[in-house]
Chains A and B, each alone.
Chain A
């Protein structure tokens, strides 16, 4: 059961309204996590700006695969429903690739290296081994790309932590829970 009281539309703080409306238009409905997050215009707008800026990093398939790998490690079931939905509808990842991403892999070798590295970063809190760093560099990622992977790991962790704390009612299509694939 959700650990937060949802806002009614007239309770949404004015400073959160345009960001919330943009998500509603883009996703097609207003997810429970967004209605909750809108309670803090500071955090909600800061995160939305971050999400927008980081959409210039790497490519959408790699970003969404990282989102799935990180959400699996952080055990965020709400997030796994969100990222599985966006991976299917926006990044056009097939169903088996979505499961593979949750396991920290991708079929495409370069993307596989990025997802493996992202999984190591979140598992070890950045305390990756020299071999991990070498593997992602050998796959063709620059230091700038690696920083973008790390920033994406933290960005997805923000909503993972947020959704784990408040445990919203699920409103995206159901998926297999974390730890059960």
Chain B
């Protein structure tokens, strides 16, 4: 394992309680791994943890990343999201109306590669999100897509509690 990846990997291990296979894999590129860890850390200041987690679930479902769905389902339950809310998020919704608008918008962004309709943009703005918030939602869609793509490419052995695969909820 490259020395330059060690501080970030140790931090994740301490915070998660074990070293997930995806991170042990990702650590092979200190450039990409540290860039992603920094990006992720910076975006932890965006919105609130429940909204970030529901976005991660919606995006991982669209990108068909089963490893990621296992990771984000655990993270979501640590963010105090109940099981039915986790399934709802994977479907692109949330029971809280404001959060619902954010997750619906995030789902549109990843499905349509950003080519959302005027009505989509209007709906998320009407829910109370500022332009800055919308940029944060878009950035979160990309940061979750990064690990979705990575885990789809390398298909790490599952080491999180199993969840229903993408496309079957």
Contacts and interface: CB of A to CB of B under 8 A. Distances in A.
A155 B142 contact: yes
Q: Is the interface of B mostly helix, strand, loop or mixed?
A: helix
Interface residues of B, number: 51
A151 B36 contact: yes
A158 B142 contact: yes
A1 to B, nearest CB: 10
Interface size class of A (residues with CB under 8 A): 35 or more
Interface in A147-170: 147-148, 150-151, 153-155, 157-158, 160-165
Q: Is the interface of A mostly helix, strand, loop or mixed?
A: helix
Contacts of B133: 40
A7 B136 CA distance: 17
A93 interface: no
A176 interface: no
A164 B135 contact: no
Contact of A53 (B34, B62, B146): B34
A122 B110 CA distance: 11
A150 B150 contact: yes
Give the 7 A-B residue pairs with the shortest CB-CB distance, closest first.
Answer: A126-B152, A164-B114, A161-B114, A126-B149, A158-B142, A154-B146, A40-B132
Interface of A: 3-5, 36-37, 39-47, 49-50, 53-54, 56-57, 73-76, 121-122, 124-128, 133, 142-148, 150-151, 153-155, 157-158, 160-165
